[in-house]
Amino acid sequence: MKKSDVPQDKSNLESAHFRELCYAVDENGEYTTENSTGWTPKTIALNNAIQDIKERTENARKRAEQGLTSPIEYFMELNKMDLGILTSYVGFFRWQVKRHFKPNVFKKLSDKKLQKYADAFNITVEELKTMKYED
């Protein structure tokens, strides 16, 4: 792609002063770098991903409030984690974390185990238990 053809479409990342470094060919036919503010297909994909994260987080919040899952699942989604990432932070096996999603199991967890989750989410144990936290 020519340096003059590097996409400069408006995107959500532009407001964060984010620039993506792209390789392009300059007037002399040599490769160089050029900053891009984004391009429409990437912006659409990013917006879809953000919307999906918001929906999963809201769904997990509602399920936790209804007693269908534990707050651990909600905070995992809120912090944009998946099971693999969360297990690596807390040091439990995947099956254990999935088991801790069960409200009746969550209620019996020791403060030591809850503290591991709280540390991973950068909140207090009380905030984890009540789902009331400061942003």
| Mean pLDDT in consecutive groups of 10 residues from the start of the chain, 135 residues | 63 60 82 76 84 96 96 96 97 97 97 97 96 72
Considering the domain architecture, whether residues 46 and 34 belong to the same structural domain is answered as no
pLDDT at 74: 97
Backbone angles phi, psi at 101, to 5 degrees: -70, -20
**Structural domain harbouring 101:** 42-130
Please tell me the distance from the alpha carbon of residue 22 to that of residue 32, in angstroms, as a whole number: 8
Q: What is the CATH number of the domain that holds 80?
A: 1.10.260
pLDDT at 99: 98
pLDDT at 28: 85
pLDDT at 10: 66
Considering the domain architecture, whether residues 12 and 26 belong to the same structural domain is answered as yes
pLDDT at 95: 97
All residues at 6 or more sequence positions from 19 whose CB lies less than 8 Å from its CB, including other chains: 35, 36, 37
Q: Which residues face 23 on adjacent strands? A: 33
Total domains in the chain come to 2
Considering the domain architecture, whether residues 24 and 86 belong to the same structural domain is answered as no
Residue at 95 is within a domain: yes
Considering the domain architecture, whether residues 63 and 100 belong to the same structural domain is answered as yes
pTM of the model: 0.73
Considering the domain architecture, whether residues 21 and 71 belong to the same structural domain is answered as no
Considering the domain architecture, whether residues 84 and 107 belong to the same structural domain is answered as yes
